[in-house]
Amino acid sequence: MMESNYWERQQEMEDRKKIVQDLQNGRVENSLHIFEEEMLRKKLSNTIMDLKGNIRVFCRVRPLVLDDSTKMPSTSYPISIEARGRGVDLSYNGQNKSYMFDHVFTHEASQQEIFVEIEELVQSALDGYKVCIFAYGQTGSGKTYTMMGRSNDLEHKGLIPRSLEHIFQTGQSLLPHGWVYTIKVSILEIYNDKIRDLLSMDRLVGGKKFLIQHIPKGNTTVSDLTIVEVHSVEEASSLLHKATQRRSVGRTQMNQHSSRSHFVFTLRISGVHETTKKQVDGILNLIDLAGNERLSKSKSTGDQRKETTEINSSLLCLSNVITALSRKCGHVPFRDSKLTYLLQPCLAGDSKTLMFVNISSDPSSASESFTSLEFARNVNACGIGIPQRQTKMLPSDSP
């Protein structure tokens, strides 16, 4: 496929933006079926996002838990045409704060509704793009629920298992068209600023360095990391299951099953077209960050206090990176933490990046929600360049 040049892309972006606006404002005078209109809207807004080159932000609001049902939620949703589906209001300190993101999922949104909005982005990894989706938010705000969901519960399955199924199904459907895919999995966690290989049998044995290296115009590698080729959803899901059981999780005052580490699930997807010998190399990174929490609220002590301090400090590094990027500073402190260094190509490279900001509608979390939403607004303002496909031609006599 011919790549259009920058100015053509800009013009295309303007034209498409207008179509989306017309669709949103209901000005298109025809009777497009609602479903088709919705599909078109999604496709066009995806294209616009790609062309804008910003980090996309989706906000998800966690419902109040049952025993909180007497409380008034701190969040509400504006109903104006412009803000519908994109706005969220937070009542904080007696004031109403308004935010707009690429999409806002209300507390009623199902896992399936959320997946439908990201499936095209996930699919672009099969087309040779680097894709990164990460969940950020206060402890207990629903990051793990969004990314992993509840195990053994089909309805509540999260984005990672759904993405796996989608990648394998789409890969299969491209077979008759000549595309043959090889898929490899790696899963790591960053715990107290150290990388741990969640797929290694001897993961606690020392001596492994796990050095992160960014290859220009290529992928990121982590030395000594286990990478496993998988041939089916079942195989990949079984690795995912093993890794989640090995992940560092603890019980805290704020969450019964609190993730104490950043969890990074990576699929390396390589496709070769049998006749044209074109090769595409995509990456799908799905990341469940540990949640920030106030020591005064979590009341953690001992090892857990150290974990909390480490989690907060790596998230502060992430925030510093985002601030530097949004202010277009000459120096961006990516190397200040393992997390930011690993994420560097997703935050300032040629990747398609989406952040979920998870917030709770519980009024007692309004201050944390405010901090998360302000951070998310900065993230949304970060430009990361136009996403690039990784393609090459193999010699015609290659198998």
Ligand X SMILES: Nc1ncnc2c1ncn2[C@@H]1O[C@H](COP(=O)(O)OP(=O)(O)OP(=O)(O)O)[C@@H](O)[C@H]1O
- What number of chain residues touch ligand X (CB under 6 A)? 17
CB nearer to ligand X: pick between 141 and 351: 141
Residue 142 labeled ligand binder? yes
CB 210, min distance to ligand X, A: 23
Tell me which residues in 279-318 interact with ligand X (CB under 6 A): 290-291
Residue 139 binds to ligand X (criterion: CB under 6 A): yes
Give yes or no for residue 145 binding ligand X (CB under 6 A).
yes
140 is in an annotated binding site: yes
- Consult the annotation and say whether 163 binds a ligand: no
Options 46, 75, 141, 390; binder of ligand X; rule CB under 6 A: 141
Stretch that binds ligand X, among 3-11, 142-150, 295-303, 383-391 (CB under 6 A): 142-150
Q: Identify which range of 30-38, 135-143, 190-198, 299-307 contacts ligand X by CB under 6 A.
A: 135-143
Q: Binding string, 355-394, against ligand X, x = CB under 6 A? A: ---x------------------------------------
Instruction: Please indicate if the annotation marks 143 as binding a ligand.
Output: yes
Nearer to ligand X, 141 or 369 (CB): 141
99 with 115: CB under 8 angstroms?
Answer: no
- Shortest CB 253 distance to ligand X, Å: 10
Closest approach of ligand X to the CB of residue 71, in Å: 15
Residue numbers 62-101 binding ligand X by CB under 6 A: 62-63
Nearest CB to ligand X, comparing residues 64 and 195? 64
Nearer to ligand X, 134 or 145 (CB): 145
CA 343 to chain CA centroid, nearest Å: 11
Residue 144 annotated as lining a ligand binding site: yes
**141 annotated to a ligand binding site:** yes
Given the rule CB under 6 A, which residues bind ligand X? 62-63, 137, 139-145, 255, 257-259, 290-291, 358
- Residue ranges of the annotated binding site for ATP are 137-144
